[in-house]
Structure 1
């Protein structure tokens, strides 16, 4: 059975516009995504609280569903958004980022969900200092990106904006 080894699709030296400013915008995208995940969870917690009061305390038993529901919601959010045609979460779309496999294919649902698990695992287990890995590789990939074979780049619109104009194409 032959193994087809694919080369890296994104070269930081040939296309630096794909990687320019990605780390800072990725942090902002994370904050946006965190808020988008936390708001429905907080609304559910408030609903359970109100339901518990109305049912004279019986509804408070629903709080045990909140942690697993939060995990499921986060996995569905990341899987569905990263698996969408834009290969980006809502926060990443706001920040003009997209996630691709190292050989250039768009992300898919399972990869998006596993990417979220990989992020939370590496940050939880190895402390947030593991995020410093991005400063020591040319593609600015985090540890979970390297393990999963993904890369976060500027989307085509932003990359085109950052791409230098060809020599002699400027105003005369």
Structure 2
């Protein structure tokens, strides 16, 4: 399989075998890691709050989104997959076959949380009805998650 072939997994069903199940497990791994990083960031903000006489405590509401965006943007942008995706043998590819950059990885996670928040997760069911097993936020940025 050449690099050009991998950009079109619809022609290679083996590239999509078990992707839904692997993505769910990868999400749980990534969410756990983001929560650990969030707790560390909260401790740092707490200490900064003491130093700044409470001013830094205004950041608490933004800590989780910032950590999640940085986590996904850096990991997808630098390695083409989050640590959870790599653990499950998945890779994140753009429809053009290119590796995504930081902004595409960050936008991907922003779309995921916004879409699942407003639809209560029902938008995730869209993967059951398309041949490439893509979710709504994958389609919006033109990406596919496939087996590495």
Q: State the TM-score bracket (shorter-chain normalisation).
A: 0.7 to 0.9
Deviation, structure 1 residue 51: 8.1
Q: Which residue of 1 aligns with 2:102?
A: 109
Instruction: Specify the alignment match of 1:72 in structure 2.
Output: 66
1:18 corresponds to: 15
Task: Tell me the secondary structure at the aligned position of residue 83 of structure 1.
Answer: helix
Considering only CA atoms, is the larger Rg found in Structure 1 or Structure 2? 1
Shift of 1:10: 1.3
Q: Decide which structure has greater helix share.
A: 2
The 8 Å contact of residues 73 and 102 in structure 2, kept in 1 or not, is answered as yes
Displacement over 4 Å in runs of 4+? 46-52
SS at match of 2:62: helix
Note if 1:83 corresponds to 2:77.
yes
Distance in 2, matches of 1:131 and 1:142, equals 6
* Stretches of structure 2 lacking an aligned partner (at least 5 in a row): 1-5
Cα gap change, 1:20 to 1:41, in 2 (>3 Å): same
Q: Secondary structure at the match of 2:127?
A: helix
Quote the Cα distance in structure 2 between the aligned partners of 1:31 and 1:137: 23
Q: 1:125-140, aligned counterparts within 5 Å?
A: 125-140=118-133
CA shift in 2, pair 1:115/1:51, >3 Å: closer
Please say if residues 72 and 109 of structure 2, whose CA atoms lie closer than 8 Å, have aligned partners that are also in contact. yes
The Cα of 1:46 is off from its aligned counterpart by 4.7
Q: CA RMSD in A?
A: 2.1
